[in-house]
Chain A
Amino acid sequence: GQQVMQIPQYQHVQEGEDFTTYCNSSTTLSNIQWYKQRPGGHPVFLIQLVKSGEVKKQKRLTFQFGEAKKNSSLHITATQTTDVGTYFCAGPMRSSSNTGKLIFGQGTTLQVKP
């Protein structure tokens, strides 16, 4: 079946270090979304990428969609303690027919040591 995988599952960094999480889909995706979930919180939408090779930036966060539209990455430059949380990528479920149903990766949990 359709799968979305993320690596690494956990990452501990020193404040100020960079962080990258990678997302791989078993199928080509029409778009990919990224969400952040703080400890004890709920997923919050960060961004959506639609075009092959697309790169978008939000301050210290850089999101990339692969040329084949099967992988994506999120890079955080100079992490801060406010970046702590779990980052999920999500793509439309294969049968979704633009219903917006998403299949999520298992997430990468980021811990930042001050």
Chain B
Amino acid sequence: DTGVSQNPRHKITKRGQNVTFRCDPISEHNRLYWYRQTLGQGPEFLTYFQNEAQLEKSRLLSDRFSAERPKGSFSTLEIQRTEQGDSAMYLCASSLAGRGLAGSYNEQFFGPGTRLTVL
């Protein structure tokens, strides 16, 4: 499977615990995005990497959230001291800067997501 993969698919944790999610993008994609999606809403931008550099972080992202992309390959998203309000689907997407195969710019390929439930 050459698509975007995410692990784990589901995570249940108790409030106050730390959790870490992993995303493996499509190998030749240099851009990687993290989004959060809650029920009935569209994906909401959290942070963005170009290669290994984290170029932007949403103001919505508190300092309990940190993301890394060592060596410009896979990425991890860590949430410290989880809160019930962190319960959501965390989606990772990757893209190739410039024109994609379909002739479109910045077409994003999403992974299956990690569903986080904080009890």
B56 touches A100 (CB 8 A): no
A98-114 interface bits toward B, Cβ cutoff 8 Å, 1 = contact, 0 = none: 11111111110000000
**Residue pair B42, A106 in contact (C-beta under 8 Å):** yes
Segment at the B interface, from A13-21, A42-50, A68-76, A77-85: A42-50
Q: Are A100 and B45 in contact (CB under 8 A)?
A: no
B interface residues with partner A (beta carbon < 8 Å): 31, 33, 40-45, 48, 50, 55-56, 91, 93, 95, 97, 102, 104-113
A33–B43 Cα distance when bound, in Å, is: 13
Residues of A within 8 A of B111 (CB): 42
Q: Is A88 an interface residue (CB 8 A)?
A: yes
What is the size category of the interface that chain A forms with chain B? 20 to 34
Per-residue B-contact encoding for A32-54, CB less than 8 Å = 1, 0 else: 01010000011111011010000
Is the pair B45, A43 in contact by a Cβ cutoff of 8 Å?
no
Q: Do the beta carbons of B56 and A102 come within 8 Å of each other?
A: no
B109 neighbours in A (Cβ, 8 Å)? 45
Instruction: Given A44-B110, A99-B48, verify A104-B43 contact (CB < 8 Å).
Output: yes
